[in-house]
Structure 1
Amino acid sequence: MSSSDIFIGETIGTAVLILLGGGVCAAVTLKASKARAAGWLAIAFGWGFAVMTAVYISAPLSGAHLNPAVTLALAIKDDDYSNLATYWGGQLLGAMIGAVLVWVTYYGQFLAHLTDSEIVGVPEEKVAKAVEAEEPGAGPVLGVFSTGPEIRNAVQNLATEIIGTVVLILAILTQGLNNNGDGLGVLGALITSFVVVGIGLSLGGPTGYAINPARDLGPRIVHALLPLPNKGGSDWSYAWIPVVGPLIGGAIAAGIYNVAFA
Structure 2
Amino acid sequence: MSSSDIFIGETIGTAVLILLGGGVCAAVTFKRSKAYNAGWLAIAFGWGFAVLSGAYLSSGVSGAHLNPAVTIGLAIQGGTKWSNVPLYLASQLLGAMIGAVLVWITYYGQFRAHLTDPEVIAAQPVEEGMVDQRTAPKAGPVLGIFSTGPEIRNAAQNLATEIIATVVLVLVILTQGLNAGGDGLGVLGALITALLVVGIGLSLGGPTGYAINPVRDLGPRIVHSLLPLPNKGGSDWAYAWIPVAGPLIGGAIAGGIYNLAFA
**Is 1:170 the counterpart of 2:167 in the alignment?**
no
Bigger drift between 174-183 and 103-112 goes to 174-183
Amino acid at match of 1:205: G
1:89-134 Cα distance to aligned partner (Å, 9 max, x none):
1000000000000000000000110000111218xx76xx131668
Return the alpha-carbon distance in structure 2 between the equivalents of residues 55 and 221 of structure 1: 23
Relative to structure 2, which stretch is displaced further, 113-122 or 44-53? 113-122
Distance (whole Å) between structure 2 residues aligned to residue 10 and residue 136 of structure 1: 31
Task: Identify the residue that residue 53 of structure 1 maps to in structure 2.
Answer: 53
Q: Which one-letter code corresponds to 2:42 in the other structure?
A: A
Q: Note if contact 1:29-1:144 (Cα within 8 Å) is conserved in structure 2.
A: yes
Question: Is 2:73 aligned against 1:76?
Answer: no
* Count of residue pairs brought into register by the alignment: 258
Q: Write out per-residue CA displacement over residues 199-246 of structure 1, whole angstroms, 9 at most, x where no aligned residue.
A: 000000000000000000000000000000000000000000000000
Deviation readout 1:151-204 (Å, 9 max, x if unpaired): 000000000000000000011001144243342111111111000000000000
Q: What is the aligned-residue identity percentage? A: 78
Q: Specify the alignment match of 2:86 in structure 1.
A: 85
Separation in structure 1 between the aligned mates of residue 5 and residue 181 of structure 2, nearest angstrom? 15
1:94-173 aligned at under 5 Å gives the runs 94-121=95-122, 129-131=126-128, 135-173=136-174
Q: Which runs of 5+ in 1 are unaligned?
A: none
TM-score normalised per structure 1: 0.95
**1-side partners of 2:171 and 2:97: how far apart?**
27
What do residues 55-99 of structure 1 show as CA deviations (whole Å, max 9, x unaligned)? 000111100000000000111111831100000010000000000
In the TM superposition, what are the counterparts of 1:1-262 in structure 2 within 5 Å?
Answer: 1-78=1-78, 80-121=81-122, 129-131=126-128, 135-262=136-263
Give the whole-Å Cα distance in 2 for the aligned partners of 1:195 and 1:35.
24
Q: Give the letter for the 2:127 counterpart.
A: A
Tell me, which stretches of 5 or more residues in structure 2 are unaligned? none
Letter in 2 for 1:178: N
Q: Alignment partner of 1:236: what SS?
A: coil
Query: 1:59·1:182 contact (CA, 8 Å) conserved in 2?
Result: no
Identify the structure with the greater helix proportion. 1
RMSD: 1.4
Distance 1:221 1:196 in 2: 24
